[in-house]
Amino acid sequence: MKIAAITIDGYAALAPMAGVADRAVREIARAHGACYTVGEMTSAKGICQHSKKSEELLRPDDARPYAVQLFGEDPDSMREAARYAASLGPDIIDLNFGCPAPKITGGGAGSALLRDLQRAGAVARSAVAGAGGIPVTAKIRRGYDAGEDVAVEAALRLEAEGISAITVHGRTRAQMYAPPVDLGCIARVKAAVSVPVIGNGDIFTADDAARMFEETGVDLVMIGRGALGNPWLFSEINARMRGEPLPPRPSLQERLAVMRREIALLLDDKGERVGFREARKHVAWYMTGLRGAASLRRLCGEISGWEQIDEICRQAAAANPSDPLTE
By CB atoms closer than 10 A (0-12, 13-18, 19+), residue 248 is: exposed
Whether 264 shows a pLDDT value over 80: the answer reads yes
pLDDT in tens, 178-229: 788 999 999 999 999 999 999 999 999 999 999 999 999 999 999 999 999 9
pLDDT band at 324 (very low <50, low <70, confident <90, very high): low
What does the pLDDT average to over 54-72?
Answer: 91
Q: Does the pLDDT of residue 322 top 80, yes or no?
A: no
Neighbours of 245 (CB within 10 A): 7
Percent of the chain with pLDDT strictly greater than 90 = 88
**Which one-letter DSSP state was computed for residue 196?**
-
Residue 68 has pLDDT above 60, yes or no: yes
User: Which among 68, 65, 10 has a CA at the least distance from the CA of 219?
Assistant: 10
pLDDT at 176: 81
* Contact (CB, 8 A) for 174 and 144: yes
At 60 the pLDDT is 82
Q: Can you give the pLDDT at residue 103?
A: 93
Query: What is the reported pLDDT for 105?
Result: 93
Q: What is the pLDDT of residues 150-187, one digit of tens each?
A: 999 999 999 999 999 999 999 998 888 878 899 999 99
Whole-angstrom distance, CA of residue 186 vs CA of residue 217: 9
Residues marked active site are found at 99
CATH T-level topology, domain 2-241: TIM Barrel (3.20.20)
Counting residues of the chain whose pLDDT is more than 70, the rounded percentage is 98
In this structure, what is the dihedral angle of CA atoms 191, 197, 203, 206, given to the nearest 10 degrees?
90
Is the peptide bond prior to 16 cis by the omega test (within 30 degrees of 0)? no
Residue 274 has pLDDT above 90, yes or no: yes
Three-state SS for 12-44 is: EEECCCCCCCCHHHHHHHHHCCCCCEEEEEEEH
- This prediction has a pTM of 0.93
- pLDDT at residue 325 tops 80: no
**Does residue 24 surpass a pLDDT of 60?**
yes
pLDDT at residue 323 above 80? no
Rounded to an integer, what distance in angstroms lies between the CA atom of residue 306 and that of residue 144? 43
pLDDT at 276: 98
Assign 70 to helix, strand or coil. strand
Pairwise pLDDT comparison (275 vs 326), residue with the higher score? 275
Q: What element of type H or E holds 46?
A: helix 44-48
d(Cα 39, Cα 49) in Å, to the nearest integer?
20
Question: Kind of pairing, strands 136-143 and 92-97?
Answer: parallel
Per CATH, which fold does 252-326 belong to?
1.10.1200
Could you report the per-residue pLDDT of 108-145, keeping only the tens digit for each? 999 999 999 999 999 999 999 999 999 999 999 999 98
Q: What pLDDT score was predicted for residue 326?
A: 52
CA 11/CA 145 separation, integer angstroms = 31
Contacts of 327 (CB under 8 A, 6+ apart): none
Domain boundaries of the chain, sorted by first residue: 2-241, 252-326
Other residues' Cβ atoms within 10 Å of the Cβ of residue 189: 29
